[in-house]
Amino acid sequence: MAAGMYLEHYLDSIENLPFELQRNFNLMRDLDQRTEDLKGQIDSLAKEYTANARTLSSEQKLSILRQIQQSYSKCKEFGDDKVQLAMQTYEMVDKHIRRLDTDLARFEADLKEKQIESTDYDSTSSKGKKDTRQKEKKTAKTRSKVKSSDEDGSPKSAQKKVKLLQPGEFNSPSANFGNVHPSDVLDMPVDPNEPTYCLCHQVSYGEMIGCDNTDCSIEWFHFACVGLTTKPRGKWYCPRCSQDRKRK
C-alpha cells in the first residue's frame, strides 16, 4: 500500500475525533458546573443549620442534614462520571496513536519487502544474462566443431557430430525466484515514563475503576483484572483493601 493510501485512511479515521473530544470536554464542563452549584447549596444549608441550630426542631435538623448528605452524594457521582469521561477521552486519543504506530510499522515492512524483491530481481537478471552469454559461447564452439566434422567426413567425426547434437545438451538453466513474505508488524514499545496501574502493573486502557480506600497503594484497576463488567453502585474496594478491611 502506498504512503498516500496509509495517510488517506488515517485522516478518514480521525475525521470525527475533534467533535468527539469537544463533546466530552463540554460534558466535563457541565459536570463541573453542576458540582459547583451543589457545593453552593451545601454551603447555604450548612450556614442555615449552624445559625439556627438552637431554634430548629429535631425533624428540621435531620431534614437539613439529609439534604447536605444527598448533595454530597450527587457531587461524588458527578466526580465519578467526570473521571470516566476523562478516561474515555484518553483511550479515544490513544487508540488513534496506536493505529498510527501500526500503520507506520506496516509501511516500513512494505518498503523492506519491495527492496528485497528488487534486489532478488537484479541478482537473478544478472545471473541469467551471464548464463545466456556462456550458452551462446558454448553453442558457437559446438557449431564450429560440427562444421569441421562435416568437412572431414570421417566415421569418428560423424559419431562426434551425433553426440554433440543430442537434445538436452544446451538447455538453459531455470531461474529460481524466491517468494518474499512481508515482515510481521512489530509491537510498538511502551513509553517507559507512562505510569502503570492495577494488579497487572500495566498502563491505563479501557474502563477502569478507582478504589475508595484513600490509602490504597494502587488506586486504579482495569475492569477485567478485578472481574467487573459494569460500574458497581456505592463504594468499591480493591481485592487487597477488601482483605485488609476483613482482617480489621
Please state the residue numbers annotated as binding site.
Answer: 198, 200, 211, 216, 222, 225, 238, 241
For the chain, the straight-line distance linking the first and the last C-alpha, in angstroms and rounded, comes to: 62
Instruction: Give the whole-angstrom CA distance, residue 109 versus residue 134.
Output: 38
CA distances from 155 to 132, 144, 149 (A): 32, 18, 9
Q: Do 228 and 208 meet the contact criterion of CB atoms below 8 Å apart? A: no
Q: And the C-alpha cell for 161?
A: 557430430
Query: What's the sign of the alpha-carbon dihedral 142, 148, 150, 156?
Result: negative
Query: What's the sign of the alpha-carbon dihedral 35, 41, 47, 53?
Result: negative
Among candidate residues 188, 225, 187, 233, the one with its CA nearest the CA of residue 207: 225
User: Which parts are annotated binding residues for Zn(2+)?
Assistant: 198, 200, 211, 216, 222, 225, 238, 241
